[in-house]
Amino acid sequence: IAGITQAPTSQILAAGRRMTLRCTQDMRHNAMYWYRQDLGLGLRLIHYSNTAGTTGKGEVPDGYSVSRANTDDFPLTLASAVPSQTSVYFCASSARVNQPQHFGDGTRLSIL
Protein backbone atom coordinates (compact mmCIF):
# COMPACT_ATOMS: atom_id res chain seq x y z
CA ILE A 1 0.00 0.00 0.00
CA ALA A 2 1.48 3.34 -1.06
CA GLY A 3 2.11 5.87 1.64
CA ILE A 4 4.47 7.09 4.32
CA THR A 5 5.98 4.84 6.94
CA GLN A 6 7.39 6.17 10.20
CA ALA A 7 9.41 4.25 12.77
CA PRO A 8 9.37 3.74 15.64
CA THR A 9 5.69 4.17 16.55
CA SER A 10 6.65 5.28 20.03
CA GLN A 11 9.81 5.59 22.08
CA ILE A 12 10.86 6.49 25.60
CA LEU A 13 14.32 8.00 25.65
CA ALA A 14 16.69 9.19 28.36
CA ALA A 15 17.77 12.82 28.14
CA GLY A 16 21.12 13.26 26.45
CA ARG A 17 20.72 10.25 24.15
CA ARG A 18 20.86 10.45 20.37
CA MET A 19 17.78 9.33 18.44
CA THR A 20 16.87 9.03 14.77
CA LEU A 21 13.26 8.95 13.65
CA ARG A 22 12.81 7.22 10.32
CA CYS A 23 10.49 8.25 7.50
CA THR A 24 10.08 6.52 4.15
CA GLN A 25 7.61 7.23 1.36
CA ASP A 26 6.92 5.22 -1.78
CA MET A 27 4.87 7.79 -3.69
CA ARG A 28 7.90 9.38 -5.39
CA HIS A 29 6.96 12.70 -3.85
CA ASN A 30 9.49 15.49 -4.28
CA ALA A 31 8.87 17.34 -1.02
CA MET A 32 9.06 15.99 2.53
CA TYR A 33 8.51 17.57 5.93
CA TRP A 34 8.95 16.97 9.64
CA TYR A 35 6.48 18.46 12.13
CA ARG A 36 5.98 18.25 15.84
CA GLN A 37 2.53 18.43 17.40
CA ASP A 38 2.06 19.52 21.00
CA LEU A 39 -1.21 19.83 22.91
CA GLY A 40 -2.90 23.17 22.30
CA LEU A 41 -0.50 24.18 19.54
CA GLY A 42 -0.68 23.84 15.80
CA LEU A 43 1.67 21.62 13.89
CA ARG A 44 5.10 23.25 13.82
CA LEU A 45 7.54 22.68 10.99
CA ILE A 46 10.96 21.45 12.08
CA HIS A 47 12.76 20.85 8.77
CA TYR A 48 11.74 20.36 5.18
CA SER A 49 13.14 19.16 1.88
CA ASN A 50 11.74 20.43 -1.40
CA THR A 51 13.66 17.84 -3.41
CA ALA A 52 16.24 15.12 -2.88
CA GLY A 53 19.61 16.56 -1.94
CA THR A 54 18.23 19.78 -0.40
CA THR A 55 16.97 20.61 3.08
CA GLY A 56 15.76 23.72 4.86
CA LYS A 57 14.97 24.92 8.37
CA GLY A 58 11.41 25.37 9.52
CA GLU A 59 9.97 27.22 12.48
CA VAL A 60 11.57 25.12 15.26
CA PRO A 61 14.82 23.54 13.92
CA ASP A 62 17.07 23.83 17.00
CA GLY A 63 18.23 20.48 18.36
CA TYR A 64 17.20 18.61 15.20
CA SER A 65 18.93 17.69 11.97
CA VAL A 66 17.80 16.00 8.74
CA SER A 67 19.24 14.57 5.56
CA ARG A 68 17.71 13.76 2.17
CA ALA A 69 20.11 11.45 0.37
CA ASN A 70 17.37 10.07 -1.91
CA THR A 71 13.73 10.67 -2.82
CA ASP A 72 12.22 8.12 -0.47
CA ASP A 73 13.93 8.66 2.90
CA PHE A 74 13.95 11.65 5.24
CA PRO A 75 15.32 10.78 8.70
CA LEU A 76 15.14 13.22 11.62
CA THR A 77 17.92 13.11 14.23
CA LEU A 78 17.91 14.47 17.76
CA ALA A 79 21.59 14.83 18.58
CA SER A 80 21.15 15.06 22.36
CA ALA A 81 17.54 14.71 23.47
CA VAL A 82 16.03 17.11 26.02
CA PRO A 83 12.66 16.82 27.84
CA SER A 84 11.19 19.74 25.82
CA GLN A 85 11.46 17.55 22.73
CA THR A 86 8.77 15.28 24.14
CA SER A 87 6.11 15.44 21.44
CA VAL A 88 4.36 13.61 18.62
CA TYR A 89 6.39 13.81 15.45
CA PHE A 90 4.80 13.60 12.02
CA CYS A 91 6.54 13.12 8.71
CA ALA A 92 4.68 14.31 5.61
CA SER A 93 5.24 14.44 1.87
CA SER A 94 3.77 16.18 -1.13
CA ALA A 95 4.20 15.68 -4.87
CA ARG A 96 5.27 19.31 -5.20
CA VAL A 97 5.62 22.13 -2.65
CA ASN A 98 2.21 23.62 -3.50
CA GLN A 99 0.33 20.31 -3.34
CA PRO A 100 -1.52 18.75 -0.38
CA GLN A 101 0.69 17.07 2.18
CA HIS A 102 0.13 13.45 3.18
CA PHE A 103 1.10 12.36 6.67
CA GLY A 104 2.63 9.29 8.26
CA ASP A 105 1.09 7.80 11.40
CA GLY A 106 3.47 9.65 13.70
CA THR A 107 6.06 8.81 16.34
CA ARG A 108 5.18 9.47 19.97
CA LEU A 109 8.46 10.40 21.70
CA SER A 110 8.94 10.86 25.44
CA ILE A 111 12.21 12.23 26.80
CA LEU A 112 12.83 11.56 30.48
Partner 1 sequence: GQNIDQPTEMTATEGAIVQINCTYQTSGFNGLFWYQQHAGEAPTFLSYNVLDGLEEKGRFSSFLSRSKGYSYLLLKELQMKDSASYLCAGMDSNYQLIWGAGTKLIIKP
DSSP character string of 52-106: TT--EE-SS-TTEEE--SSSSB--EEESS--GGG-EEEEEEEESSTTSPPEE---
Of 17-25, 67-75, 79-87, 92-100, the segment contacting partner 1 by CB under 8 A is 92-100
Q: Which stretch binds partner 1 (CB under 8 A): 9-17, 62-70, 78-86, 104-112?
A: 104-112
Closest CA to 37 of 105, 96, 101: 105
Shortest CB 12 distance to partner 1, Å: 17
Cα dist from 77 to 1, 39, 44, 89, whole Å? 26, 22, 16, 12
Taking residues 52 to 71 in sequence order and writing x for each that binds partner 1 by CB under 8 A, - otherwise, the string is ------x-------------
* Interacting positions 32-51 with partner 1 (CB under 8 A): 40-45, 48, 50
Chain positions contacting partner 1, by CB under 8 A: 40-45, 48, 50, 58, 90, 97-98, 100-106
